[in-house]
Every structure is written in C-alpha cells, then in structure tokens.
Structure 1
Amino acid sequence: VLIHSWTPHDRDQPWGADSSGMNQLLAELSSGEAAVEHIEADLLDPEAPLRVIEAAASLGHVDILIANHARSSGYPLEELTAKEIDTTMAVNARSTMLLVKEFAAKHDGRPGGRVVMMTSGQHLGPMPGELPYIASKGAIHQLTASLADHLAPRGITVNTVNPGATDTGYASEQTYAHVLEQEPQGRWGEPDDAARLIAWLVSDDARWVTGQVINSTGAGP
C-alpha cells in the first residue's frame, strides 16, 4: 500500500494540515500484513505521477489505483485568473490522467485491476464559487467512460465516485450548518461512507461494474 500526500497544499488551506493524521494512518495500516509506504509529491509537477506509480510498484504488483487527490480552488467568475485555472486543471485532471496512464503501464493484466477516481457534485447542481475546481472535477467525470472502455480488454475496471458533502473538518460553522439543512438524512457524509463504496468497487464483487459515475451522497446535493 502506497499513500500519497502533499502537505504544503494542506498548510495553505484555511483548515490547515493535520500534523498527526498521516502518522496515525500509517501506524494503523502497518499493523496488518501489507507493506505500507508514504510518498510526498506535488502533482502539479508533470513527472510526479510517474514517481508515485514507480514507488507503488517497488512494493509489488500495482493492482489498484485510487485517485483521491484534489486541489481546492474556491474562485467565482469575478476572481478567476489564468494561473489558478491552469494549476487546478493540472493537479486535479492532468495528473489523474497521467496516474491512470502509468498505472496501466505497470499492470500486467492479471485479474483484479481497479481504478477509482473522485469527482464532485458539479453535474447535479450549480457550484458558482468553485469554477476551476468544478471544471477539473467535471473532466474526471467525462473521462470515466472512455478510460473504462480503453482498459476493459485488459480486465481493468474504471469507476468514479462523487462522495457528496463529507465532513473532514474543513467546513466553517456557517458552511456546516448550511449543508446540514440540505441533507435528507440529517447528517453530513463521513469519510467511511465513501471508503465503504470504494472498498466494494475494488473487490471481486464489483468485477462487472465499470465506466460508472456513482453519486454516494445520502440523497443530498
């Protein structure tokens, strides 16, 4: 298991980086039988996806790619800059395509090849304050069917998950309350909700499911 992160991005966010979270995660995963490593890489660098996949391959055959990274970009139309558009598209969309490319190059065609990408809710309703972000996540949505078709002959499935509003501690009190009012089940999504779906998608039970964009939002927006 290889876990990727890029702490400088997290530090720049209003909620800041979790200084202990990665160590806790590594300790938890290392208690099992799998070899577990961690890599820091800035996916704005076009060479970073190759380094990430090569690091994963150094641990053994690469069976599963979960592209769960994202650059947060809260820019409305009036505040857009070319730099922010290009940076967000590069990190969220370009790097995902390159990660899938390098993953596919390493995968030897054995059963169980899986790719899971992450999108957002831009296809379900307007998100006018996050234009670069939704453009990049919309690209992931549109890539899904074509990547699935291309990799299907090799037995690799490709699916994308929209996890909905997920409580990872990033939301302000105002945002949290506003979203909560729109949630039919009376709660935000939890990281475990998306993780359960992804665990199923990468299992043998989901071997016939590919090319799908799945909205796992608890019936919320």
Structure 2
Amino acid sequence: MSTSPPLHGKTALVTGVSRRRGIGFAVATKLASLGANVAIHHHGPHDLDLPWGGDDIDAVRAEVRAHLTEGAQFADVPADLSDPSTVPDLIAAAAGLAGGLDVLVCNHAKSGNDGSILDMTPERLSAFWEVNTRSTLLLTAEFARLRAPRTDEPRRPGDRITGNAPYAEAQGHVFWMTSGQIHGAMRGEVAYATSKAALAGVTATVAAELLELGIVLNTINPGPVNTGYMDPDTTDRSFENFNQYLASTPFGRVGTPGDPAELIGWLATPAGSWVVGQVLTSDGGFAL
C-alpha cells in the first residue's frame, strides 16, 4: 500500500535560495522531497558582492524542481527584502502557487561588510537590521495574517490573539535562522550578530502569539556550516589553525547545509509539530 509523503498538498516558501551550496537550497530540496509545493525566493546581487560569489539561478531552479514529488508545483520569486514593500507580494506569490501557504522558512540573510564595535555606523547597523530582522518579522506577520481573524483594534501589551483552538494539528510552520552569538563571541560581526540575536531573543514572544492561530514557530542555529565562506579561495576571514582544531573534534568536520535542512524537514512534518517556540542548535556539538 502506497502512502503520501508527509508534506503532500502543503506549500512551502523558502527565502534565500540562490546558491546550491547554501542552507536555503538544501532546505528547499528537502521540503520538495517530502512532497511539498515549493516557492523559493532569491536575491542574486547580494551574493555577487561576496567573496564566494553567486550561482547559476537556472541551475538552482532545475535542481529544486528535480526533487519535487509527482504533481507538486514550483515557483521562484526574486526580491530585495531590504525593501519592505516586497514582503506582501512575496507571501502572496507563494500562497498563490497552490491556493495556500503552510511553511515559511526565513533563511535569507545579509552578510559581509560587517565589523567590530569600533566599526559600527548607523548605516551598517540599519542594513543588517532591515534584511535579517525586520524582513523576517514582516514575512512572519504576513504569513500569520493569512490565518488570523481580521480586526482594526490594536492589541495592547498582554492581549492574546483570538484563534480557533483547539487544533487537531499544526496550522502552519515558521522557521527563523539565528547564529552562534547565542553560544559565544562573534568578533568582527557585531551588526550581523545583533540582527540574529534579536530573532533568537523574540522567538518565545512571537511563538506564543502564533500558537493561538495554530502556527508553530521555531528558530534554528545551524552552527558552523561551510556554504563556501570556509574555502581558502573564497573566505572573508582567517582560518589559521582551524583544520588542526577541527581534527580534534568528535566528528572532525563542520556542518553541511543538509544538516539543518534535515532538522527543519522533520520539524515541518506532523511528527515534529510538538516542538514549539524553541531556539534549537544543530551543530554537531561545537557549542560544547
């Protein structure tokens, strides 16, 4: 007897899917293999400004499509998420793919052109905040409005959102991405770490509100994952003595994009829906 894949009939939007070596690409292909309709977002100009460069977006599209199960649909939407006006259209495009939107993975991020506390400027801080934090919150808000009762009344501190609980199953899943700032210093990445720390810090607050609508939010810290920035010819930092240190660790390697993708894939299924409002580290024990 054949059974449908766990995400059959569901639609997922994964942001930041512009490079086949990236976490977003691994997540998109994983969700596709689980049966989901998949919409990807990308913003190639950001990658072209970084040492590891961009990718062939046609090849990215083709490989995500190749992981779709029978009958599943695909779409891709380019957008610069530093512009908040792009957010509603992105959510609408994904929701229009198959008549609804069930999974939102906010994987996009601004990186590069950071610095130490001595290098901070209003412009640098704002640039990271706008892409990494503000757009993630705005995407989540648009996703939640798809299921929220309409009201013009502002909610006061402490007010609960009114949903239709109890729910037989999760009504949607949202995933945010944080970084290693929750476990230790990230020298020279003050603006990036600040923008990611905000997401980790507000996870419980937003998760509690979304849960009133049956939506499950979790935040993932993928740990050190080599998406190209650890390669000697495309790195933007020093890795002196890193290989020697790596050899001393129990697994002897850093993460691959598939490691956090497997976690997100499981959490997005009914089997993972009991995990709610957590900041989860998937790093092979590096934080230890």
Q: Shorter-normalised TM-score: what interval?
A: over 0.9
Q: CA deviation at 1:170?
A: 2.1
Q: 1:180 to 1:105 in 2, by over 3 A?
A: farther
Distance (Å, rounded) in 2 between the aligned partners of 1:211 and 1:129: 29
In the alignment, which residue of structure 2 is the partner of 1:62?
101
SS state of the match for residue 219, structure 2?
strand
SS state of the match for residue 174, structure 2?
strand
In the alignment, which residue of structure 2 is the partner of 1:161?
220
Distance (Å, rounded) in 1 between the aligned partners of 2:142 and 2:240: 38
| Matching of residues 37-76 of structure 1 within 5 Å | 37-59=75-97, 60-73=99-112, 74-76=114-116
Q: 1:180 to 1:91 in 2, by over 3 A?
A: farther
Q: CA deviation at 1:30?
A: 4.7
| Matching of residues 16-165 of structure 1 within 5 Å | 16-20=53-57, 21-30=59-68, 32-59=70-97, 60-73=99-112, 74-107=114-147, 111-112=169-170, 113-165=172-224
Q: 1:169 to 1:54 in 2, by over 3 A?
A: same
CA deviation vs aligned residue, 1:141-187 (integer Å, no higher than 9, x gap): 01210111001122111000000011112224253862772443100
Distance (Å, rounded) in 2 between the aligned partners of 1:101 and 1:133: 22
Distance (Å, rounded) in 2 between the aligned partners of 1:65 and 1:121: 22
In the alignment, which residue of structure 2 is the partner of 1:197?
263
In the alignment, which residue of structure 1 is the partner of 2:39?
2
Is the deviation greater in 113-122 or in 103-112?
Answer: 103-112
Is the deviation greater in 131-140 or in 48-57?
Answer: 48-57
SS state of the match for residue 175, structure 1?
coil
- Unaligned ranges ≥5, structure 2: 1-37, 149-163, 233-237
SS state of the match for residue 37, structure 1?
strand
Is the deviation greater in 27-36 or in 56-65?
Answer: 27-36
Q: Which has the higher helix share?
A: 1
In the alignment, which residue of structure 2 is the partner of 1:15?
52
Distance (Å, rounded) in 1 between the aligned partners of 2:243 and 2:196: 20
In the alignment, which residue of structure 2 is the partner of 1:175?
239
Distance (Å, rounded) in 2 between the aligned partners of 1:98 and 1:92: 11
CA deviation vs aligned residue, 1:1-57 (integer Å, no higher than 9, x gap): 110010000100111001255234333245642110001100000112211101111
Distance (Å, rounded) in 1 between the aligned partners of 2:102 and 2:191: 31
TM-score (norm 1): 0.92
- Unaligned ranges ≥5, structure 1: none
RMSD of aligned alpha carbons: 2.0
Is the deviation greater in 117-126 or in 47-56?
Answer: 47-56
Q: 1:24 to 1:170 in 2, by over 3 A?
A: farther
